[in-house]
């Protein structure tokens, strides 16, 4: 995709708990409507991933007239934000985003969260609830995990053992050298992320390869792989009343720890019935819809936001 120079974001920074954090800001198209809800993007965690994951969505959204301020932060440990050697939990990233929301954005938002970073959005909603804030007006889930993945916890002991014995160790360092190779990134993307192998393009591979050059980015990735986000969210999800849209690819794939595989149709039904105020949609693609099926994703997002009057 060729980026329109009119849609180049402003790059800014702020400080959270002493760490420098970077974000991109796309001003709304029409300044008259600047009081509309903003879009707050939460990028996925993975080898080389950062807020740059959302660039295609931001460009396509502007082309299609999505007239909202867009805030695209790099989570701590990712992209251009600082990368301390920490075990990151969803609550850590949620606290960072909550600070960003209250001190930088300072107005209502619609959150777009990719994949298995859904627990970060859930933790953020809990922080808002506990502080009697009401800044989250809508929630859009892009390719969220299988329902059983969101309801099958992993033991805390197992999480910590995995982190200490494998990831935060010389073995983990060697594995990172293997995982950041372009060949591995391409193979993994074809096997696990994209519906069509030809969509794993040079732009995607360059994005991840460049992002993985900083070895310190492995701590966020390893925190994700250790499963610190794996909890039973059943009761919490059942109580979230914020209007929610769950978007799934027609070839979405995921298998729970118990070995049960959900079809995309089953996943739609489970989210609609298990989430208090959720509707679902299916579009072409697999697990990285804002990148592989950008135009369709922007269309369903725009319709949801318009229907909410936000």
Q: Look at the alpha carbons of 221, 223, 224, 227 in this order and tell me if their dihedral is positive or negative.
A: positive
What are the tokens at 83? 């990368």
Q: Is the pLDDT of residue 256 over 50?
A: no
What is the phi-psi region of residue 79: left when phi exceeds 0, alpha when psi lies from -120 to 50, beta otherwise? left
Summarize pLDDT for 198-250 with one digit per residue, the tens. Answer: 999 999 999 999 999 999 999 999 999 999 999 999 999 999 999 999 999 99
Give the range among 4-13, 54-63, 142-151, 283-292 with minimum mean pLDDT: 4-13
Local confidence band at 6 (pLDDT 50, 70, 90 cut-offs): low
Helix (H) or strand (E) holding 281: strand 278-283
The confidence score (pLDDT) of residue 1 equals 42
The confidence score (pLDDT) of residue 194 equals 96
Q: Determine if the pTM surpasses 0.85.
A: yes
The confidence score (pLDDT) of residue 36 equals 79
The domains of the chain are located at: 5-308
Helix (H) or strand (E) holding 279: strand 278-283
**CA nearest neighbour of 188 among 205, 207, 171:** 205
Backbone angles phi, psi at 12, to 5 degrees: -135, 170
Residue of higher predicted confidence among 173 and 98:
98
DSSP state of 247: E
The residue length of the chain stands at 310
CB 30 within 8 A of CB 43: no
| CATH superfamily name and code, 5-308 | Alpha/Beta hydrolase fold, catalytic domain (3.40.50.1820)
What is the full DSSP assignment across 88-145? --HHHHHHHHHHHIIIII-S-EEEEEEGGGHHHHHHHHHHHHHTT---EEEEEEESPP
Rounded to whole angstroms, how far apart are CA atoms 103 and 155?
Answer: 35
């Amino acid at each position: 995709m060729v980026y329109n120079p009119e849609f180049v974001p402003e790059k800014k920074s702020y400080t959270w708990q002493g760490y420098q954090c970077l974000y991109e800001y796309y001003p709304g198209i029409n300044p008259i409507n600047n009081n509309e809800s903003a879009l707050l993007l939460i990028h996925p965690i993975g080898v080389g991933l950062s807020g740059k994951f959302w660039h295609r969505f931001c460009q396509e959204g502007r082309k299609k007239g999505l007239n909202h301020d867009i805030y695209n932060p790099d989570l701590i440990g990712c992209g251009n934000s600082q990368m301390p050697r920490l075990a990151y939990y969803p609550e850590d990233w949620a606290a960072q985003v909550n600070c960003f929301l209250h001190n930088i954005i300072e107005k209502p938002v619609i959150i777009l969260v990719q994949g298995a970073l859904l627990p970060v959005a859930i933790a953020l909603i809990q922080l808002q609830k506990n502080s009697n804030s009401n800044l989250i007006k809508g929630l859009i889930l892009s390719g969220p995990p299988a329902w059983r993945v969101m309801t099958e916890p992993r033991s805390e002991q197992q999480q910590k053992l995995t982190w200490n014995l494998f990831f935060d160790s010389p073995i983990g360092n060697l594995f990172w050298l293997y995982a950041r190779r372009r060949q591995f990134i391409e193979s993994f993307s074809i096997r696990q992320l994209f519906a069509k192998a030809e969509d794993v393009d040079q732009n995607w591979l360059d994005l991840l390869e460049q992002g993985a050059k900083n070895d310190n980015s492995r701590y966020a990735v390893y925190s994700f792989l250790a499963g610190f986000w794996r909890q039973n969210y059943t009761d919490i999800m059942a109580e979230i009343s914020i209007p929610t849209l769950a978007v799934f690819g027609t070839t979405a794939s995921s298998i729970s720890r118990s070995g049960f595989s959900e079809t995309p149709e089953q996943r739609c039904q489970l989210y609609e019935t298990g989430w208090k105020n959720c509707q679902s949609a299916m579009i072409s693609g697999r697990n990285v819809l804002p990148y592989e099926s950008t135009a369709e994703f922007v269309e369903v997002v725009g319709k949801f936001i318009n229907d909410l009057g936000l």
